[in-house]
Amino acid sequence: MFRPVTPQDKDLYMRYVDAFYHSDAVASPVPPENYEATWNELMRGDDYLKCYFFVENGAPCGFALLSKTFSQEAGGVSVTIEELFVEEACRGRGLATAFFGWLKAQPGIARLRIEVEDDNEGARRLYERMGFAPLPYVQMVIDKWKQ
């Protein structure tokens, strides 16, 4: 149903990331060099970044990119689902639901986080069914690549 990324998956990863960043799931695309930097970090090791491909009938049909930090607030490891993309033809078949179930069952994870655009109602409903709740505060960032 899903599998970790391998060094042979670069083209597939790049295709899925590009599709994700040109979908309604995000407010704006990121530079393609960011895809490359992420790929290089994935290949360096999985200390704080992991990627899984969703697979159906032996064929890839989506991916999830995860980052890991320690959260004092949560009292342990916090995993953020940075990106989650399922090809349109494979949606509604329970792939993301199964992935979330597996992820929630992993030992050593105190918190799961995910971001969703306000107008992405389908994704919000899915995440709420999985047990995600909105955070009561606003996150703020500085993206050096946008300056």
* Number of independent structural domains in the chain: 1
Residue listed under structure tokens 């490359």: 36
pTM above 0.85, yes or no: yes
The CATH number of the domain where 98 resides is what? 3.40.630.30
For 91-100, write each residue's pLDDT tens digit: 999 999 999 9
Band of the pLDDT at 24, cuts 50, 70, 90? confident
Query: Which string of DSSP letters, residue by residue, matches 54-106?
Result: EEETTEEEEEEEEEEEEETTTTEEEEEEEEEEE-GGGTTSSHHHHHHHHHHTS
Domain that holds residue 54: 2-146
pLDDT of 146 reads 73
